Protein backbone atom coordinates (compact mmCIF):
# COMPACT_ATOMS: atom_id res chain seq x y z
CA UNK A 1 0.00 0.00 0.00
CA UNK A 2 2.91 2.31 0.85
CA UNK A 3 4.32 1.69 -2.63
CA UNK A 4 0.94 2.56 -4.13
CA UNK A 5 0.85 5.77 -2.16
CA UNK A 6 4.30 6.85 -3.33
CA UNK A 7 3.44 5.88 -6.89
CA UNK A 8 0.31 8.00 -6.64
CA UNK A 9 2.31 10.98 -5.45
CA UNK A 10 4.82 10.47 -8.26
CA UNK A 11 1.98 10.30 -10.74
CA UNK A 12 0.46 13.54 -9.50
CA UNK A 13 3.88 15.24 -9.46
CA UNK A 14 4.62 14.24 -13.06
CA UNK A 15 1.23 15.44 -14.15
CA UNK A 16 1.51 18.80 -12.45
CA UNK A 17 5.02 19.29 -13.80
CA UNK A 18 3.87 18.49 -17.33
CA UNK A 19 0.89 20.85 -17.31
CA UNK A 20 2.57 23.69 -15.42
CA UNK A 21 5.97 23.75 -17.07
CA UNK A 22 5.17 25.12 -20.57
CA UNK A 23 3.21 28.12 -19.27
CA UNK A 24 5.71 28.93 -16.53
CA UNK A 25 8.76 28.61 -18.77
CA UNK A 26 7.08 30.85 -21.33
CA UNK A 27 6.20 33.49 -18.77
CA UNK A 28 9.69 33.47 -17.23
CA UNK A 29 11.38 33.93 -20.60
CA UNK A 30 8.97 36.65 -21.67
CA UNK A 31 9.49 38.56 -18.43
CA UNK A 32 13.24 38.13 -18.72
CA UNK A 33 13.06 39.69 -22.18
CA UNK A 34 11.11 42.59 -20.74
CA UNK A 35 7.86 41.51 -22.40
CA UNK A 36 4.38 41.35 -20.98
CA UNK A 37 3.44 37.63 -20.60
CA UNK A 38 1.48 36.73 -23.69
CA UNK A 39 -0.84 34.51 -21.66
CA UNK A 40 -2.36 37.66 -20.17
CA UNK A 41 -3.24 39.07 -23.60
CA UNK A 42 -6.64 37.46 -23.25
CA UNK A 43 -7.63 40.27 -20.90
CA UNK A 44 -6.64 42.98 -23.35
CA UNK A 45 -9.20 42.34 -26.08
CA UNK A 46 -12.96 41.83 -26.09
CA UNK A 47 -13.78 38.10 -25.83
CA UNK A 48 -15.10 37.61 -29.35
CA UNK A 49 -14.73 34.20 -31.00
CA UNK A 50 -12.21 35.69 -33.42
CA UNK A 51 -10.06 37.25 -30.68
CA UNK A 52 -10.14 34.10 -28.58
CA UNK A 53 -9.03 31.95 -31.50
CA UNK A 54 -6.28 34.41 -32.36
CA UNK A 55 -5.12 34.34 -28.74
CA UNK A 56 -5.10 30.55 -28.70
CA UNK A 57 -3.14 30.43 -31.95
CA UNK A 58 -0.61 32.94 -30.72
CA UNK A 59 0.02 30.94 -27.53
CA UNK A 60 0.82 27.91 -29.64
CA UNK A 61 2.88 29.68 -32.26
CA UNK A 62 5.08 31.47 -29.76
CA UNK A 63 5.48 28.61 -27.31
CA UNK A 64 9.16 28.03 -26.57
CA UNK A 65 8.51 24.48 -25.43
CA UNK A 66 6.76 23.62 -28.70
CA UNK A 67 9.55 25.25 -30.69
CA UNK A 68 12.11 23.14 -28.86
CA UNK A 69 10.31 19.82 -28.86
CA UNK A 70 8.26 19.68 -32.04
CA UNK A 71 11.15 19.32 -34.52
CA UNK A 72 12.55 16.41 -32.51
CA UNK A 73 9.19 14.63 -32.53
CA UNK A 74 8.72 15.24 -36.23
CA UNK A 75 12.18 13.92 -36.93
CA UNK A 76 11.41 10.82 -34.88
CA UNK A 77 8.18 10.24 -36.83
CA UNK A 78 9.92 10.76 -40.14
CA UNK A 79 12.99 8.66 -39.33
CA UNK A 80 11.35 5.70 -37.64
CA UNK A 81 7.76 5.72 -38.88
CA UNK A 82 8.17 7.19 -42.37
CA UNK A 83 5.64 9.86 -41.51
CA UNK A 84 6.39 13.34 -42.79
CA UNK A 85 3.53 15.05 -41.01
CA UNK A 86 0.75 17.19 -42.35
CA UNK A 87 2.44 18.68 -45.39
CA UNK A 88 4.12 15.76 -47.09
CA UNK A 89 3.82 12.06 -47.77
CA UNK A 90 6.90 9.86 -47.89
CA UNK A 91 7.13 7.92 -51.15
CA UNK A 92 9.63 5.36 -52.37
CA UNK A 93 13.38 5.83 -52.76
CA UNK A 94 13.46 9.10 -50.84
CA UNK A 95 10.72 10.77 -52.85
CA UNK A 96 8.41 13.15 -51.08
CA UNK A 97 4.94 14.20 -52.21
CA UNK A 98 2.82 17.21 -51.33
CA UNK A 99 -0.08 15.97 -49.22
CA UNK A 100 -2.78 18.15 -50.81
CA UNK A 101 -1.76 16.80 -54.22
CA UNK A 102 -1.95 13.23 -52.92
CA UNK A 103 -5.40 14.02 -51.56
CA UNK A 104 -6.38 15.51 -54.88
CA UNK A 105 -5.37 12.34 -56.69
CA UNK A 106 -6.86 9.89 -54.20
CA UNK A 107 -10.09 11.80 -53.75
CA UNK A 108 -10.34 12.93 -57.34
CA UNK A 109 -12.04 9.81 -58.63
CA UNK A 110 -15.44 11.26 -58.12
CA UNK A 111 -17.13 14.52 -57.77
CA UNK A 112 -18.03 17.46 -59.82
CA UNK A 113 -17.38 20.86 -58.21
CA UNK A 114 -19.42 21.48 -55.05
CA UNK A 115 -20.77 24.88 -56.13
CA UNK A 116 -20.23 27.67 -58.62
CA UNK A 117 -17.43 29.32 -56.65
CA UNK A 118 -15.44 26.10 -56.82
CA UNK A 119 -16.18 25.35 -60.46
CA UNK A 120 -13.11 26.19 -62.53
CA UNK A 121 -15.02 26.15 -65.79
CA UNK A 122 -17.25 29.12 -64.94
CA UNK A 123 -14.26 31.28 -63.96
CA UNK A 124 -12.24 30.15 -66.95
CA UNK A 125 -15.09 30.77 -69.38
CA UNK A 126 -15.69 34.22 -67.96
CA UNK A 127 -11.99 35.04 -68.25
CA UNK A 128 -11.86 33.70 -71.79
CA UNK A 129 -14.89 35.81 -72.77
CA UNK A 130 -13.53 38.97 -71.20
CA UNK A 131 -10.23 38.51 -72.98
CA UNK A 132 -12.05 37.66 -76.20
CA UNK A 133 -13.85 41.00 -76.03
CA UNK A 134 -10.39 42.59 -76.15
CA UNK A 135 -9.30 40.38 -79.07
CA UNK A 136 -6.98 38.45 -76.77
CA UNK A 137 -6.74 34.68 -77.05
CA UNK A 138 -6.54 32.47 -73.95
CA UNK A 139 -4.49 29.31 -73.73
CA UNK A 140 -4.63 27.17 -70.58
CA UNK A 141 -1.77 25.07 -69.29
CA UNK A 142 -2.89 22.76 -66.47
CA UNK A 143 0.31 21.28 -65.03
CA UNK A 144 -0.02 17.65 -63.87
CA UNK A 145 0.80 17.02 -60.23
CA UNK A 146 3.89 14.94 -59.59
CA UNK A 147 1.70 12.16 -58.18
CA UNK A 148 -0.16 11.85 -61.48
CA UNK A 149 3.02 11.42 -63.49
CA UNK A 150 4.94 9.23 -61.06
CA UNK A 151 2.27 7.29 -59.14
CA UNK A 152 4.61 4.33 -58.71
CA UNK A 153 6.98 6.49 -56.66
CA UNK A 154 4.09 7.25 -54.34
CA UNK A 155 2.79 3.69 -53.95
CA UNK A 156 4.60 0.59 -55.13
CA UNK A 157 1.28 -0.90 -56.17
CA UNK A 158 1.07 1.53 -59.08
CA UNK A 159 4.29 0.16 -60.58
CA UNK A 160 3.94 -0.16 -64.33
CA UNK A 161 0.61 1.65 -64.34
CA UNK A 162 1.88 4.67 -66.25
CA UNK A 163 0.51 8.10 -65.57
CA UNK A 164 -2.85 8.72 -63.87
CA UNK A 165 -5.38 11.29 -64.94
CA UNK A 166 -7.92 11.32 -62.13
CA UNK A 167 -11.61 11.62 -62.84
CA UNK A 168 -11.93 15.20 -61.65
CA UNK A 169 -9.13 16.39 -63.94
CA UNK A 170 -10.43 14.37 -66.87
CA UNK A 171 -13.87 15.86 -66.32
CA UNK A 172 -12.49 19.41 -66.41
CA UNK A 173 -10.44 18.76 -69.55
CA UNK A 174 -13.53 17.32 -71.26
CA UNK A 175 -15.62 20.31 -70.23
CA UNK A 176 -12.93 22.71 -71.47
CA UNK A 177 -13.00 20.97 -74.82
CA UNK A 178 -16.80 21.10 -74.99
CA UNK A 179 -16.68 24.81 -74.20
CA UNK A 180 -14.13 25.47 -76.90
CA UNK A 181 -11.47 26.58 -74.44
CA UNK A 182 -7.97 25.87 -75.64
CA UNK A 183 -5.53 24.04 -73.43
CA UNK A 184 -2.25 22.19 -73.75
CA UNK A 185 -2.53 18.59 -72.60
CA UNK A 186 0.68 18.17 -70.61
CA UNK A 187 -0.50 14.77 -69.38
CA UNK A 188 -0.09 13.49 -72.91
CA UNK A 189 3.22 15.34 -73.33
CA UNK A 190 4.60 13.85 -70.11
CA UNK A 191 3.22 10.41 -70.90
CA UNK A 192 5.24 10.38 -74.10
CA UNK A 193 8.28 11.78 -72.30
CA UNK A 194 8.04 9.09 -69.66
CA UNK A 195 8.03 6.36 -72.27
CA UNK A 196 11.56 7.44 -73.14
CA UNK A 197 12.78 7.31 -69.55
CA UNK A 198 14.80 4.32 -68.45
CA UNK A 199 13.10 2.07 -65.92
CA UNK A 200 16.11 2.22 -63.65
CA UNK A 201 16.20 6.00 -63.53
CA UNK A 202 12.70 7.42 -63.41
CA UNK A 203 11.99 10.95 -62.37
CA UNK A 204 13.48 13.18 -64.96
CA UNK A 205 10.38 15.32 -65.25
CA UNK A 206 9.91 16.12 -61.53
CA UNK A 207 12.22 16.58 -58.57
CA UNK A 208 12.33 13.93 -55.85
CA UNK A 209 12.07 16.23 -52.82
CA UNK A 210 10.14 19.06 -54.40
CA UNK A 211 6.55 19.33 -55.58
CA UNK A 212 7.62 20.92 -58.88
CA UNK A 213 8.98 19.86 -62.20
CA UNK A 214 12.65 19.43 -63.07
CA UNK A 215 14.43 21.40 -65.82
CA UNK A 216 13.60 18.48 -68.14
CA UNK A 217 9.94 18.84 -67.24
CA UNK A 218 10.14 22.58 -67.89
CA UNK A 219 11.70 21.99 -71.28
CA UNK A 220 9.14 19.37 -72.35
CA UNK A 221 6.31 21.69 -71.32
CA UNK A 222 7.71 24.80 -73.00
CA UNK A 223 8.31 23.00 -76.27
CA UNK A 224 4.72 21.72 -76.27
CA UNK A 225 3.24 25.10 -75.36
CA UNK A 226 5.38 27.00 -77.88
CA UNK A 227 4.45 24.58 -80.64
CA UNK A 228 0.78 25.03 -79.83
CA UNK A 229 1.08 28.83 -79.84
CA UNK A 230 3.02 29.00 -83.08
CA UNK A 231 0.83 26.43 -84.84
CA UNK A 232 -2.27 28.46 -84.00
CA UNK A 233 -0.69 31.44 -85.74
CA UNK A 234 -1.83 34.07 -83.24
CA UNK A 235 1.78 34.83 -82.56
CA UNK A 236 4.65 34.31 -84.95
CA UNK A 237 8.13 33.48 -83.82
CA UNK A 238 9.92 36.70 -82.94
CA UNK A 239 13.47 37.59 -83.81
CA UNK A 240 14.74 38.20 -80.30
CA UNK A 241 17.86 36.07 -79.98
CA UNK A 242 18.57 34.07 -76.86
CA UNK A 243 21.27 31.63 -75.98
CA UNK A 244 21.54 29.15 -73.13
CA UNK A 245 24.12 28.45 -70.50
CA UNK A 246 24.16 25.45 -68.16
CA UNK A 247 24.09 26.25 -64.46
CA UNK A 248 24.09 23.69 -61.66
CA UNK A 249 22.34 24.56 -58.42
CA UNK A 250 21.85 22.61 -55.22
CA UNK A 251 18.23 22.82 -54.16
CA UNK A 252 16.64 21.88 -50.89
CA UNK A 253 13.22 20.75 -52.07
CA UNK A 254 10.19 22.81 -51.08
CA UNK A 255 8.66 19.72 -49.45
CA UNK A 256 11.67 19.39 -47.16
CA UNK A 257 11.46 23.07 -46.28
CA UNK A 258 7.75 22.83 -45.57
CA UNK A 259 8.44 20.30 -42.81
CA UNK A 260 10.42 22.97 -40.95
CA UNK A 261 12.53 20.36 -39.18
CA UNK A 262 16.25 21.20 -39.20
CA UNK A 263 17.18 17.59 -38.40
CA UNK A 264 15.39 16.36 -41.54
CA UNK A 265 16.93 19.14 -43.62
CA UNK A 266 20.36 18.06 -42.43
CA UNK A 267 19.62 14.41 -43.10
CA UNK A 268 18.43 14.95 -46.66
CA UNK A 269 21.08 15.98 -49.14
CA UNK A 270 20.01 18.89 -51.36
CA UNK A 271 19.30 17.80 -54.91
CA UNK A 272 21.81 18.81 -57.53
CA UNK A 273 19.93 20.26 -60.50
CA UNK A 274 21.44 21.30 -63.78
CA UNK A 275 19.41 24.08 -65.35
CA UNK A 276 19.70 25.89 -68.60
CA UNK A 277 19.74 29.61 -68.04
CA UNK A 278 18.36 31.74 -70.88
CA UNK A 279 20.64 34.61 -71.87
CA UNK A 280 19.95 37.67 -74.01
CA UNK A 281 22.22 37.01 -76.99
CA UNK A 282 23.34 40.60 -77.45
CA UNK A 283 23.80 41.79 -73.88
CA UNK A 284 24.86 38.52 -72.31
CA UNK A 285 22.42 39.21 -69.47
CA UNK A 286 19.90 36.71 -68.13
CA UNK A 287 16.41 36.85 -69.66
CA UNK A 288 14.11 39.68 -68.53
CA UNK A 289 10.36 40.21 -68.99
CA UNK A 290 8.99 43.03 -71.14
CA UNK A 291 5.73 44.65 -70.10
CA UNK A 292 4.86 45.63 -73.68
CA UNK A 293 5.02 42.04 -74.94
CA UNK A 294 2.13 40.63 -76.96
CA UNK A 295 2.12 37.59 -74.68
CA UNK A 296 1.13 37.61 -71.02
CA UNK A 297 1.71 34.54 -68.90
CA UNK A 298 -0.05 33.99 -65.57
CA UNK A 299 0.62 31.19 -63.13
CA UNK A 300 1.88 29.83 -59.85
CA UNK A 301 5.06 28.40 -58.40
CA UNK A 302 5.56 26.20 -61.46
CA UNK A 303 6.48 29.47 -63.18
CA UNK A 304 8.50 30.69 -60.24
CA UNK A 305 10.87 27.73 -59.92
CA UNK A 306 14.26 28.31 -61.61
CA UNK A 307 12.87 31.64 -62.87
CA UNK A 308 12.75 33.79 -59.75
CA UNK A 309 14.48 31.12 -57.65
CA UNK A 310 18.05 30.08 -58.21
CA UNK A 311 19.58 30.20 -60.77
CA UNK A 312 16.97 32.66 -62.18
CA UNK A 313 15.91 33.03 -65.80
CA UNK A 314 15.96 29.26 -66.27
CA UNK A 315 12.31 28.44 -65.71
CA UNK A 316 9.22 28.07 -67.83
CA UNK A 317 8.88 31.77 -68.67
CA UNK A 318 12.43 32.21 -69.95
CA UNK A 319 12.35 29.00 -71.94
CA UNK A 320 8.99 29.82 -73.49
CA UNK A 321 10.33 33.26 -74.41
CA UNK A 322 13.31 31.58 -76.05
CA UNK A 323 11.08 29.19 -77.96
CA UNK A 324 8.85 32.07 -79.12
CA UNK A 325 11.78 34.35 -79.84
CA UNK A 326 10.29 37.21 -77.86
CA UNK A 327 10.21 38.38 -74.22
CA UNK A 328 6.98 37.89 -72.30
CA UNK A 329 5.02 39.70 -69.61
CA UNK A 330 4.34 37.59 -66.53
CA UNK A 331 2.44 37.58 -63.26
CA UNK A 332 3.30 34.84 -60.78
CA UNK A 333 1.40 34.11 -57.59
CA UNK A 334 2.57 31.14 -55.52
CA UNK A 335 -0.34 28.77 -54.99
CA UNK A 336 -2.76 31.39 -56.26
CA UNK A 337 -3.25 30.50 -59.90
CA UNK A 338 -6.95 29.82 -59.54
CA UNK A 339 -8.11 33.29 -58.52
CA UNK A 340 -5.37 35.43 -56.96
CA UNK A 341 -3.30 35.77 -60.10
CA UNK A 342 -6.33 37.04 -62.06
CA UNK A 343 -7.10 39.45 -59.25
CA UNK A 344 -3.51 40.69 -59.53
CA UNK A 345 -4.06 41.19 -63.25
CA UNK A 346 -7.36 42.99 -62.62
CA UNK A 347 -5.42 45.39 -60.40
CA UNK A 348 -2.98 46.15 -63.24
CA UNK A 349 -5.21 46.56 -66.31
CA UNK A 350 -2.46 48.32 -68.25
CA UNK A 351 -0.68 45.00 -68.58
CA UNK A 352 -3.35 43.86 -71.05
CA UNK A 353 -2.49 46.66 -73.44
CA UNK A 354 -1.09 45.33 -76.75
CA UNK A 355 -1.65 41.74 -75.66
CA UNK A 356 -2.75 39.16 -78.18
CA UNK A 357 -2.32 36.02 -76.11
CA UNK A 358 -2.69 35.14 -72.44
CA UNK A 359 -1.23 31.84 -71.26
CA UNK A 360 -2.65 30.74 -67.93
CA UNK A 361 -0.79 28.02 -66.08
CA UNK A 362 -2.14 26.34 -62.94
CA UNK A 363 -1.21 23.22 -61.01
CA UNK A 364 -3.61 20.29 -61.30
CA UNK A 365 -4.48 20.26 -57.58
CA UNK A 366 -5.74 23.84 -57.89
CA UNK A 367 -8.76 22.44 -59.70
CA UNK A 368 -10.06 21.50 -56.27
CA UNK A 369 -7.80 23.19 -53.74
CA UNK A 370 -7.21 26.58 -55.37
CA UNK A 371 -6.78 29.35 -52.81
CA UNK A 372 -9.95 31.48 -52.83
CA UNK A 373 -11.59 28.88 -55.08
CA UNK A 374 -12.41 29.88 -58.66
CA UNK A 375 -14.00 33.29 -58.44
CA UNK A 376 -15.16 35.21 -61.45
CA UNK A 377 -12.89 38.26 -61.62
CA UNK A 378 -14.09 41.20 -63.71
CA UNK A 379 -11.31 42.81 -65.71
CA UNK A 380 -11.29 46.56 -65.91
CA UNK A 381 -10.57 48.25 -69.22
CA UNK A 382 -7.31 50.21 -69.25
CA UNK A 383 -7.93 53.86 -68.48
CA UNK A 384 -11.00 53.20 -66.31
CA UNK A 385 -10.84 52.99 -62.55
CA UNK A 386 -11.93 49.96 -60.58
CA UNK A 387 -13.96 50.28 -57.41
Partner 1 sequence: MVFTTHLFLFYFLPTFLILYYAMPFRSRTALIAAGSYLFYGWANPFWPLLMFASSGVDYLCGLGLLRLSGLPRDGGLPPILPKDQPRSRAQRALLIGSIASNMALLAFFKYSGFAVENLNALSEILGMGTDLVPALKVALPVGISFYTFKSMSYAIDVYLGDARPMVNFVDFCCFEAFFPDLVAGPIVRYGAIEQQMRERSHTADKFARGVVFFAMGMAKKILIANPLAQVADAAFRAGGLHWYDAWYGIVGYAFQIYFDFSGYSDMAVGLALMMGFVLIRNFDSPYQAESITDFWRRWHFSLSTWLRDYLYIPLGGNRRGPVRTYVNLMLVMLIGGLWHGASWNFVIWGAIHGGMLAFERMQGKQGPSARLPGGYRVAITFGVVCLSWVFFRAETLPQAAGYLASLFGLARTTLASDAVAAAMYTPYHLVIMTTAGALVWASPGSWAFSRRITWARAGYAGVLLLLSAAFMWTQSENPFIYFQF
Q: At what angle do helices 215-232 and 186-195 cross, to 10 degrees?
A: 130
The only residue of 162, 270, 378, 382 in contact with partner 1, by rule CB under 8 A: 162
Residues 4-43: x/- map of binding to partner 1 (CB under 8 A)?
xxxxxxxxx-xxx-xxx-xx---------------x----
Closer to partner 1 at the Cβ: 107 or 177?
107
Q: Which is nearer to partner 1, 155 or 376 (CB)?
A: 155
Cβ 340 to partner 1 shortest distance, Å: 23
Cβ atoms 275, 246 nearer than 8 A: yes
Of residues 35, 36, 56, 372, which one binds partner 1 by CB under 8 A? 56
Up-side HSE of residue 346: CA atoms within 13 Å toward CB? 15
Give yes or no for residue 82 binding partner 1 (CB under 8 A). Answer: yes
Q: Does 73 bind partner 1 (CB under 8 A)?
A: yes
Out of 100, 151, 336, 370, name the contact with partner 1 by CB under 8 A: 151
Closest CA to 327 of 247, 242, 243: 242
**Exposed, middle or buried: residue 104 (CB in 10 Å: 0-12, 13-18, 19+)?**
buried
Q: Cβ closer to partner 1: 49 or 285?
A: 49
Q: Which of 114, 129, 167, 372 binds partner 1 (CB under 8 A)?
A: 167
Quote the least distance from Cβ 105 to partner 1, whole Å: 5
Distance of CA 308 to the CA centre of its chain: 14
Within 95-114, which residues bind partner 1 (CB under 8 A)? Answer: 97, 102-103, 105-111
- The residue range among 65-73, 181-189, 268-276, 297-305 that interacts with partner 1, by the rule CB under 8 A, is 65-73
Q: For residue 206, what are the β-bridge partners?
A: 213
CB of 12 to partner 1, least distance (A): 5
Size of the site for partner 1 (CB under 8 A): 64
Nearer CB in complex with partner 1: 39/380: 39
Of 85-93, 187-195, 292-300, 332-340, which part binds partner 1 (CB under 8 A)? Answer: 85-93
Residues that bind partner 1 (CB under 8 A): 3-12, 14-16, 18-20, 22-23, 39, 47-49, 52, 56, 59-60, 63, 66, 69-70, 73-74, 77, 80-83, 85-86, 89-91, 97, 102-103, 105-111, 147, 151, 154-158, 161-162, 164, 166-167
Amino acid sequence: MQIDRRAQILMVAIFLAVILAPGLIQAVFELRDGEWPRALDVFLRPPTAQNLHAYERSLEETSLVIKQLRPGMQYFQWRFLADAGEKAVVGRDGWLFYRPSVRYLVEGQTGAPEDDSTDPLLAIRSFRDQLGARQIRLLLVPVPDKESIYPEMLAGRAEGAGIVVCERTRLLLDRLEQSGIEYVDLFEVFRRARQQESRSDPGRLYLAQDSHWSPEGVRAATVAVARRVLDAGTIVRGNHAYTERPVTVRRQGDLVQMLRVPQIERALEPESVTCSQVIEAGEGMPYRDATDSEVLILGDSFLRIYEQDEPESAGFISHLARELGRPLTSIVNDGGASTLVRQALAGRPALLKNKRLVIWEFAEREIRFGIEGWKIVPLVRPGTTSR
